[in-house]
Chain A
């Protein structure tokens, strides 16, 4: 795990220094997504974002709402939420630069090589089509298989995502399914073409904890069986502790800390990470120590300051004057902080 992380930031110039194992599954460099504001300067939701994910890796990305997670997820498919636009950066999928593809090539790639698992699946599925049709459409469109074969593959996929009574469920409509069932359908749609890379955007947020655990296990197995890789975006830092190989924390459009799972949870270095973990703690004193509830997230920071300065209990003058870079503090362990917490 650690050596896969080592290629991160050091591979800053993209696929040129690909290792003998081939290029990383996903390599993002300097991705910046801006929203044009009605008045004044554009709002930047994702700023100068770097990310490298290796084949077979499940990468957890944690952040509060408003951190830019969904914008990042959709920008990876080159479809940032309206009216956002990708202002700069490079996205490479298995070495192929997505920014150089035209819209038709992108459309063929989405759902086939690069697919997305969405939250709130009951609203995301087409209410007038049976779920069987919606899964089968993916292979008909992307793999050009005949209808009968597409149906058979869809049925196999329903079995793979452990839907009970799959033959009957093929003909069910989205409104006839529970949230957990619909989530499995969306996973089936995302995985049926065996994509190289999967972006999961808060996919389990609407589910009961027991169902969540089942679906995560299922997702993990399916991703690994197919030799894919996954970016797992969530608000729930607890999920990543069991599920992801590496974890990063995102705040206001930037990665604040990135490390292999054990490192991340046993030796957190960024005050924001510590705050997120303390929030789960039963220790009142610990929680109070690391949070400043009077400060609002996303409050306007002076340009050139650390984005977290207003909420940081350790902030000093330097934090207000100088924007910290993402530094490697230990092998594969990165933090964007002038005064990282001692492990």
Chain B
């Protein structure tokens, strides 16, 4: 692992400037959306004086660069601002909602990997077989299906007709007491608390949204796995392994290992994207996640929840990419040494 530390240090050095850039762009973009929060908060009957007073109180009468500066100063003190919709500090709201989204997206992505990678490998190693054809059809279909539509179909089949899953209302039964918060993942927290009833309820509520995200996002993972493994199987060293009489399974395994960087890349991109991209699924299942929170903020000129969400997602994505770099480093001896 020589060379890993300088490599990581270099990466860490860029994280703060990257975050600053992301905040700068999103602040001015969101501010450019028409809509005055003071008017929205006070309602249609408010007097001009009252609106002006509230604007002063919210700091909206300052020039935009000054507003951004105040936002940064507060941020350094750990204050992400207050949402006028929930009237609670944004940080508190997000700490509750972000893990909800993260739990959903993480399990969804795990399912997508479990489906996409094996099918991708199988179809690449039997290019012209029926498995390859099924994988091709699946890749196309998964790319064309809207996730909220699939969610509604799954609800119709498994809740309305078969009645094997609970109603799509939130993360846990209203009658079940949620476990004390440790990680914010209800499944993990209930296991930590040894609360089987809470675990069963949380897990059953996860089933359909995870199935939705898993099946839809297995598509791109499958396509990427299939095309990269196929390319690796046609490479000089795979051909040489076949010429050397290595068994087919071993040749495919080595090809998969060589294809892993591309597969990990698409997974990491999906992971970052799904934090916000799962919002339609969150809405269908009344998940109360971070994506929903941010969209409400955009619709109601509630800027701080949006900025908070952007910031947290950015930090999360940067760490995912960092983890990806470490994985590349572990997989490929040619990188960074």
Asked if residues B246 and A141 are in contact (CB atoms below 8 Å), the reply is yes
Interface string of A141-156 (1 = CB under 8 A from B): 1100000000000000
Q: Is the CB of A79 within 8 A of B243?
A: yes
Q: Which of B239, B240, B254, B334 has the most chain A CB atoms closer than 10 A to its own CB?
A: B240
Query: B236's contact among A115, A124, A128, A189, by CB below 8 Å, is which?
Result: A124
Supposing A126-B258, A128-B332 touch, asked if A141 and B245 sit within 8 A by C-beta, the answer is: yes
CB pair A108–B245 under 8 Å, yes or no, is yes
Chain A nearest Cβ from B241, distance in angstroms? 7
Our count of residue pairs bridging A and B at CB distance below 8 angstroms stands at: 65
Cα(A142)–Cα(B243), bound, Å: 13
Residue contact B334 to A110, C-beta cutoff 8 Å = no
Q: Is B333 an interface residue (CB 8 A)?
A: yes
Report the Cα distance A110→B239, complex, angstroms.
12
* A107 contacts the other chain (CB 8 A): yes
Shortest Cβ distance from B262 into chain A, in angstroms? Answer: 14
Option from B236, B250, B254, B257 in Cβ contact (under 8 Å) with A123: B236
* CB pair B237 A125 closer than 8 Å: yes
Task: Let me know if A291 is at the binding interface, CB within 8 A.
Answer: no
B9 interface residue per 8 A CB criterion: no
B side interface size, CB within 8 A: 20
**Digit string of B230-269 for contact with A (CB within 8 Å is 1, else 0)?**
0000001101111111111010001001100000000000
Complex CA–CA separation, A77 to B241 (angstroms): 13
**Is B331's beta carbon under 8 Å from chain A?**
yes
Interface set, chain B 250-303, CB cutoff 8 A to A: 250, 254, 257-258
> Which residues from chain A sit less than 8 Å from chain B, CB to CB?
74, 77, 79, 107-112, 115-116, 118, 120, 123-129, 137-138, 141-142, 173, 175, 189-190
What 9 A-B pairs have minimum CB-CB distances, sorted nearest first? Answer: A110-B245, A111-B245, A111-B244, A124-B240, A123-B236, A173-B333, A126-B237, A124-B236, A116-B243
B residues with a Cβ closer than 8 A to A are 236-237, 239-248, 250, 254, 257-258, 331-334
Q: List 11 A-B contacts (CB under 8 A).
A: A109-B245, A111-B246, A120-B236, A124-B236, A124-B240, A125-B240, A127-B237, A128-B331, A129-B254, A141-B245, A175-B333
Inter-chain pairs besides A108-B245, A126-B241, A128-B332, 20 sampled, C-beta below 8 Å: A107-B246, A107-B247, A110-B243, A110-B244, A112-B245, A115-B244, A118-B243, A120-B236, A124-B239, A125-B237, A125-B240, A127-B237, A127-B258, A127-B334, A128-B254, A128-B258, A129-B254, A141-B246, A173-B333, A175-B334
